[in-house]
Amino acid sequence: MKRREFMMSGAALVAGTLVMRTAAAAPPGHTAEKESALMPPANNHIKTLTIKNIVIGEGKPKLIVPTTAKNADDALAMVKKYAGNPAIQVVELRIDTLSDAPDNAAIAALTRDAYALLPQQALLVTFRTKAEGGNRAISDDDYATLYREIIAHGKADLLDVEMFRREALVKELVALAHKANIAVVMSSHDFQKTPPTEEIITRLRRQQSLGADVLKIAAMPHDSGDVLRLMSATWEVYSRYAERPLLTMAMNGTGVVSRLAGELTGSALTFGMVGEASAPGQIDANDLSTVLNIIHTANQA
């Protein structure tokens, strides 16, 4: 146990060191005077999102744990297992992993059942398309039809909407979700590479302009420089442009520090796992919660 605590403390120290290097790197052409004029006070510009007394956008990053089940019964069993775990603030119901391919009405019913199991935690519903690292390919029209059914007849606190669907459909789904009091996590995933800094910033700002309540990007790093670039871009968006909470991460083992140090770069949520990972680089939820607490406590000192 002592060895584990030492390892977790060491991870936090590495996270803090990398983040300080990241935050210190000003964008090209910026003087200290320009930077101080552009950067608003931390958190004052972010519109926090409150769900079931969970405040997203302030304090330590909120921890999301996804389901990875292949059928509805197993998915509900996983949700029930996560329910009430104090380390987990958000449960992600991944409906693209369901290999029995239930119809849209059955999926909507599944979201209602999952929601009923989570009186204190937020439910995030996600269909991750094959194009963005998910388990099933789906056309834009079928994607929109499924989400319309979930919004109209299902139940969720948050809905993941991929930004690179057809723009008119993205705008429609955002509007429908908001009308139903469902917050939108707008997402972009790159499983091949980490985009340039300018592209990361552009995507996150575009998500905000499309009405997202949480701005999300996940990218695959090829080296530590990619991880630092993603974290630096996160800080730049947070400190200069963001009006909504951010959720950014570098995937794979190389990117694990980005999952730990979000509080210092402006990322308000992070993903962990219980059992099987749903994406490369996820770490055990209880271990992740320990590190988040260490960094949060140090950050308050």
CA distance 61 to 219: 19
Residue 42: pLDDT over 60: no
Question: What per-residue confidence (pLDDT) applies to 5?
Answer: 43
Distance of CA 297 to the CA centre of its chain: 22
Token pair in block for residue 5: 């605590």
Catalytic residue numbers, as ranges: 189, 216
Contact in structure between 123 and 156 (CB atoms under 8 Å): yes
Helix (H, G, I), strand (E, B) or coil at 210: coil
Residue with tokens 């499309």: 210
Average pLDDT rounded to a whole number, residues 22-46: 46
CB half-sphere exposure, 7, CA atoms < 13 A: 6
Residue 15: pLDDT over 60: no
Residue 23: pLDDT over 60: no
Name the domain count of the chain: 1
Contact in structure between 266 and 242 (CB atoms under 8 Å): yes
Contact in structure between 274 and 65 (CB atoms under 8 Å): yes
Domain hosting residue 119, numbered range? 2-300
Model pLDDT for residues 120-165, shown as the tens digit of each residue: 999 999 999 999 999 999 999 999 999 999 999 999 999 999 999 9
pTM of the predicted model as reported, rounded to 2 decimal places: 0.86
Strands 122-126 and 214-219: unpaired
CA distance 205 to 200: 9
Q: What is the CATH number of the domain that holds 221?
A: 3.20.20.70
Model pLDDT for residues 240-276, shown as the tens digit of each residue: 999 999 999 999 989 999 999 999 999 999 999 886 6
CA distance 261 to 249: 10
Token pair in block for residue 126: 């996600």
Which residues participate in the annotated binding site? 92-94, 128, 259, 278, 282
Helix (H, G, I), strand (E, B) or coil at 244: coil
Instruction: Indicate left, alpha or beta for 255 from its phi (over 0: left) and psi (-120 to 50: alpha).
Output: alpha
Which residues participate in the annotated binding site for 3-dehydroquinate? 92-94, 128, 259, 278, 282
Number of H helices, E strands in the chain: 11, 10
